[in-house]
Amino acid sequence: MTIRKEDALDYHSSPPAGKLGVVATKPCRTQRDLSLAYTPGVAVPCLEIQRDPSLLYRYTAKGNLVAVVSNGTAVLGLGNIGAGAGKPVMEGKGVLFKRFADIDVFDIELDTEDPKEVIRVCQLLEPTFGGINLEDIKAPECFEIEEELKRTMKIPVFHDDQHGTAIISGAALLNALEVAGKKIDELKVVFNGAGASGIACAEHYVRLGVKRENITLCDTKGVIYQGRTAGMNPYKERFARETAARMLAEAMRGADVFVGLSVADCVTPEMLLLMADHPIVFAMANPDPEIPYDLAVGTRPDVIMATGRSDFPNQVNNVLGFPFIFRGALDVRATTINEEMKLAATRALAALAKEDVPDSVCRAYGVERLEFGRDYLIPKPFDPRVLIWEASAVAQAALETGVAQQPVNLEQYREQLERRLGKAHEVMRAVIHKAQKQPQRVVFPEGEEPKILRACQILVDEKIARPILLGEEATIRARAAELHLHLEGVQIIEPSRFERRPLYVEELYRLRHRKGVTRREAEELVLNRNLFGSLMVHLGDADALIAGLTQHYPDTIRPALQVIKVREGLRKVSGLYLLITARGDLYFLADTTVNIEPTAEDLAEIALSAAELARRFDVEPRVALLSFSNFGSTPHPLAAKVRRAVELLHQRAPGLLVDGEMQADTAVVPEIIEQTYPFSLLKGGANVLVFPNLEAGNIAYKLLARLGGAEAIGPILTGLSKPVHVLQRGAEVNDIVNMAAIAVVDAQEATARTFADILEAWQTRFADTLAEKPKREAA
């Protein structure tokens, strides 16, 4: 990617200048807030920390704060440009820490080239920071600084220029060996570049299994061999070996792996031709690699190649390492980042690359598909799963090696990491846990679609559901093979060959013969996969149905409505979206997809169905029926309809916290309803919003999602006696998995409760509330 000079300068200079700021995490709006934030209230935690220094992590930001420390002596490819000139890089590092791992950073630029001064400053900062990230400090001083800090400090210290590249390229190496069919202990490896990154990579590869005697290290003066004195230091000396080779071209003969951390264009096509079959080439010089990607592939079609560039496959980007390594280290309060933790990071990245890649990641990189192979050896930086896989692996290694001061339950820790990805992940993880307790049979009429197949693999692997795929078995199995899916435990049904098809024909005829369907037409209609799937659910051969990936909403829902009854006690179905705001608040919006102009009776049913669903998500519903009027402020038939719905709800479900009609801001701003309308039953703001018609509901949820930045889960269909859910056209694999989990939980509860049971439960809650009222008043 080409960046114009003007664009880069504008990016950094637009107000406020730079890339980092400070955001307060506690309110400071009132005199009381001020007294708590500073004097006199601040004295209380100070004295507690004085009494017990470990409480520093409880009462301050230390546990999530990293210092990015540099003296500017080896900045990117710019060299020794000085501490101040390196500050934009350090601020950028802080942006990456925050964006990818939610870690706060202060960048600290030191105007000194004396390693002892750098060491002393870092040591003095230990009370402030949970970790130290050393950055852009030249070799060999960087080795001395890191070694001394690790020896003397009890917080993680990590020189990213050394270990970041080593960890990421190490993952690429493990997977490249699998693609090439080579063994790590037999490799002949050539390094060009013997600075911090080159030596750290070589040492890391040795720990991964490469034999030290099989490594040839080269620098600007050629091969590092035993007896060489020019340009040597103790770190290079570790890799000096007996060899007749003196120049890079000689060392490349017969090599299996070339690792470049040097300068552009130092490898020629002739050198590449000297390498062994299926050569592995990591040309990581930036911005231009040791040999251009196109030239390397054109010279050796069997080459397996990685670079430091984003415009070619297999970018070795340090952002895949340092944010997540520090995340895992900070969360268990590790005293150091040891070699086992680095190896764990490498292996976690290598393993993740073999997993199915989310559609959102493919879309972010403008490709239709990413799958493990020579062009996809390591995950992409914007893959959200890297946080969970790598940070948890690092934390586990810290626990196992005894450097963690704060033990964690790893399963709970992974869930904690998911919550950092957003409230939607947290909400859906809770639903998935419920589904896993009793997986149900979910039928997918679009069983030949690749996204459905990929989602079903996840459902089986995570034991969320027992998928049933409708389609031609040969086609499904061929596509599964293309996608490298095994689909063990997935049932495949071809409707035309299904042994129970005659029964389905008779049942469809029985249900629809007074709707104009003849027996002959029933025989044809039953081959419609949406209708066939609905009949499976109706007749008990499946527990839920998921469809709509490639079809319009009405075409998906209509067959289900023709076959599956509405729940007892209801007259209509309705559609709902769960919205999660940027602040993490949950709102259930209905009806957003089905009823165009609901009556007052319809609105009451929609509200009850939405409230029931909210409780299924472990949310206590507070229901507001919305209008353009507040409690009769505007006399109009449309407002009267909503008021009538509220009256019906108070009669049918007196235990439900519901009120209206009210305007949207009245519903969601507690101060408005509590201060302006103190008579209202609704306190604390509503979380279930029922719209007066489909127009309002559909527009509102889309605006909130697109302009308000809310995350949307849905559409969720409510009101049928058995679960049927409609996907958005073109939904992502993750969306399909989430909707299947919701369907499984629906199926678990559908057999247990009729709508009459739900009404009875609301009435019981009302009776309990009345019984408790005198006790509360007496108290």
From the list 11, 38, 59, 365, the catalytic residue is 38
Name the pairing type of β-strands 465-470 and 440-444. parallel
How far the first Cα of the chain sits from its last, in Å, is: 70
Enumerate the H helices of 670-730 as residue ranges. 670-676, 694-706
Q: What is the dihedral of CA 559, 561, 563, 566, to 10 degrees?
A: 160
Report whether 701 contacts 716 (CB < 8 A). Answer: no
Q: Residue 225: which of 249, 204, 243 has the closest Cα?
A: 243
From the list 5, 57, 62, 93, the catalytic residue is 93
For residue 522, give both structure tokens. Answer: 């029933």
Alpha carbon of 119 to those of 81, 285, 553: distances in Å? Answer: 20, 29, 64
Question: Among this protein's residues, is 93 annotated catalytic?
Answer: yes
Measured from the Cβ of residue 334, the count of other Cβ atoms closer than 10 Å reads 29
Q: How big is the chain by its Cα radius of gyration, in Å?
A: 31
Half-sphere exposure in the Cβ direction for 115 (13 Å, CA): 15
Question: Among this protein's residues, is 182 annotated catalytic?
Answer: no
DSSP, collapsed to helix, strand or coil, labels residue 270 as helix
What burial class does residue 316 get, using C-beta atoms within 10 Å of its C-beta: 0-12 exposed, 13-18 middle, 19+ buried? buried
Cα 766 → chain centroid:
41
Residue type, 636: H
DSSP class of residue 567 equals P
Half-sphere exposure in the Cβ direction for 625 (13 Å, CA): 36
Distance between CA 745 and CA 739 in Å, rounded?
10
DSSP, collapsed to helix, strand or coil, labels residue 65 as strand
Distance between CA 493 and CA 258 in Å, rounded?
50
Measured from the Cβ of residue 762, the count of other Cβ atoms closer than 10 Å reads 20
Catalytic residues, which ones?
Answer: 38, 93
